[in-house]
Amino acid sequence: LFLNIMALDLKTILLQSTGWGYFVLWSLSFYPQVYHNWKTKSVRGYSFDYLSLNVQGFIWYCIYTVTLYFFPLARYQYDQVYQSKEFPVTSHDLFFAIHGFVLVIIIALQCKIYPGYPGQKISKIIIAISSLFWGALYIAGFLYCLNIIIFLQFLQLFGYCKMLITFKYVPQIYTNYTTKSTRGWSIGATYCDLGGGLLSFCQMFILFYYTGETSQFTGDIPKLGLSLISVFFDIIFFIQHYCIYRKGHATLMKEEF
């Protein structure tokens, strides 16, 4: 009995530490960019395409997380489909989604206030891609109204859209490539983002270890994809900042300050 209690306490400690750890790191990842924009009084080098996708992604992730966490029908259908002992969406996911949405709105306001490069705006291809995502969501909503899909499937599509739009980093990577610099992008945010992605995956793995249920991964594909894809792109940012464009970044910083 004592060993069972100790094991239970260890599980709780691990889940809470990784959960709050990823929440803190992923949440902190927004602040270096906010501070960088405020300090330089500029958003030059910051991709508006990335911003656009980020705002939309957090709108969808908030809808997915908040509804799945609070709405009884969503929870009931999840239990029926996956029959899991542990519900994969935690309070940490909820707080991160809401906090992230607030911070990307603040960054969007900074992009409205501070000057950027001439012609720095959202590209037509990103507008077209965004339209496809919204179109898919409207179609899914129509299918739900016709009882062709269940509410959980409709809700999960919001999560899948957030996961797919994690490729939002591509415009910023391209901007770094065209300017031959990581100016405008806060590398501090990348450190936090990497740590958050790793801890988020660790939390899912801990749940899988204690339950033996693969649904801890398959039942929350958006969270799994968000973790792995973020880590992948963070590595690319590190390579750009510290290897490929290191000299160009240093030169631009000297010119600016």
Q: Answer whether residue 2 shows pLDDT above 70.
A: no
Type of residue numbered 163: M
| pLDDT for the residue numbered 103 | 94
Task: Render pLDDT for 149-173 as a digit per residue (tens, 0 to 9).
Answer: 999 999 999 989 988 888 888 888 9
Quick check: 256 and 40 in contact, CB under 8 A?
yes
User: What does the longest C-alpha to C-alpha distance in the chain come to?
Assistant: 68
pTM: 0.77
Using left for φ > 0, alpha for ψ between -120 and 50, and beta otherwise, residue 90 falls in beta
Using left for φ > 0, alpha for ψ between -120 and 50, and beta otherwise, residue 41 falls in left
Mean pLDDT of 44-62: 89
Mean pLDDT of 88-106: 88
Q: Answer whether residue 4 shows pLDDT above 60.
A: no
Binned at pLDDT 50, 70 and 90, residue 1 comes out as very low
Average pLDDT, the chain: 85
Binned at pLDDT 50, 70 and 90, residue 253 comes out as very low
| pLDDT for the residue numbered 135 | 96
| Polymer length in residues for the chain | 257
Task: Render pLDDT for 213-252 as a digit per residue (tens, 0 to 9).
Answer: 777 787 778 888 888 988 999 999 999 999 888 765 555 4
Binned at pLDDT 50, 70 and 90, residue 189 comes out as confident
| pLDDT for the residue numbered 58 | 92
